[in-house]
Amino acid sequence: MKKDLLSISDLTRDDIDLILNTAEAMREVGERPIKKVPTLRGKTVVNLFYEPSTRTRTSFEIAEKRLSADTLNIAVASSSVLKGETLVDTALNIEAMAPDMIVLRHASSGAGHLLSRICRSRIINAGDGMHEHPTQALLDAFTIKQHKKRLDRLKIAIVGDLLHSRVLRSNVLLLTMMGADVWVCGPATLIPARIDQFGVTVSTRVDEAVANADVIMMLRIQHERMQSAFFPSIREYFNTFGMTTERVARAKSDVIIMHPGPMNRGVEIASEVADGAYSVILEQVANGVAVRMAVLYLLAGGADGD
């Protein structure tokens, strides 16, 4: 493994297998009466979040605490960032206090790469703008593997706001590397240019994308990142692309439905689908802790080339 986890492209197939196998062992720790192991005792992890987050920040913090790391959270809303400090200055000041790892969530793509160049601490990208969210893709892969026992030769349909989604980019890199048959689907205005170069099949017809699918992964409509009108109305979007029980019925009978959260019920996904028997959305959240424990543990060791 490299020093930092900024992108799925930092990982090899073997790294991904190692992370997923380690996560399997970490999941067992969460099932014990005492859900804590002394592994990262004496290590300091700073969670630096420039964007609002419930799931990811909580998940990282629980993972860090279960490994006995000392954690501290910097929520930008109550920090010197409001006084005009730049990301680099904030990072250098944190670095001066010698933490071992920094978990960074930032609205700008590549923020983690910037910190990686100036920090000795290991950097974990917890979402950078519209670029990547590698631990989300890893926990998605872990959840798929739990249900399907493999990742290769599965038809995986990713449906929704492809353009603004860092979850999409990380998942496409990971799933195509592992040999899955990945379909991406959304309105033409929300499909990133040249996405087909990543080895995915692009479709604007949701019925075609979900037909015979093993996995359906829904993406949130990211209103907060939309500066223009990408589709006429929410109702029209739901009618054309929303995941309904009728559309799920076109997939394989043992299909699983995933969503990275937070969900917009009635926009990209019908409530009866989100709460249906094939939904693994809350399992994804539970698995997130185990996968992040695995990443923290593996990055705490020596890196390639150290």
Partner 1 sequence: MPVVMDADRMGRSLARIAHEILERNRGSEDIALVGIRTRGVPIARRLATQLRDINKHEVPTGALDITLYRDDLMRHAVGPQPVIKRTEIPFSIDDKHILLVDDVLYTGRTIRAALDALIDFGRPKTIQLVVLVDRGHRELPIKADYVGKNLPTSLSQSVQVHLLEIDGRDEVEIQEP
The dihedral over CA atoms of 48, 117, 114, 84, expressed in degrees to the nearest 10, equals 60
> Quick one: tokens of 110?
């590549």
From 82, 149, 144, 88, select the one nearest 287 (Cα to Cα). Answer: 144
Q: Specify which residues 183 forms β-bridges with.
A: 157, 201
Near partner 1 by CB under 8 A: residue from 2, 10, 22, 95:
22
301 binds partner 1 (CB under 8 A): yes
Near partner 1 by CB under 8 A: residue from 3, 43, 155, 166:
43
> Quick one: tokens of 136?
């989300």
CA distances from 235 to 109, 138, 247, 268 (A): 30, 32, 16, 10
21 binds partner 1 (CB under 8 A): yes
Number of residues that bind partner 1 (CB under 8 A): 27
302 binds partner 1 (CB under 8 A): yes
Phi-psi region of 217 (alpha: psi -120 to 50; beta: other; left: phi over 0): beta
Count of C-beta atoms within a 10 Å radius of residue 74: 17
Q: How many residues belong to the chain?
A: 306
Question: What is the closest distance, in whole angstroms, from the C-beta atom of residue 306 to partner 1 in the complex?
Answer: 6
Q: CA-to-CA distance for 175 and 108, rounded, in angstroms?
A: 24
Question: What is the closest distance, in whole angstroms, from the C-beta atom of residue 271 to partner 1 in the complex?
Answer: 36
Near partner 1 by CB under 8 A: residue from 6, 16, 29, 104:
29
- Contacting residues for 117 by C-beta, under 8 A, at least 6 apart: none
Near partner 1 by CB under 8 A: residue from 12, 13, 32, 189:
32
Select 67 or 123, whichever has its Cβ closest to partner 1: 67
Q: Specify which residues 69 forms β-bridges with.
A: none
Q: Which of residues 229-248 bind partner 1 (CB under 8 A)?
A: none
205 binds partner 1 (CB under 8 A): no
Near partner 1 by CB under 8 A: residue from 39, 109, 240, 244:
39
Question: What is the closest distance, in whole angstroms, from the C-beta atom of residue 25 to partner 1 in the complex?
Answer: 4
Select 84 or 302, whichever has its Cβ closest to partner 1: 302
Q: Which residues bind partner 1 (CB under 8 A)?
A: 1, 18, 21-22, 24-26, 28-29, 32-34, 36-43, 67, 297-298, 300-302, 306
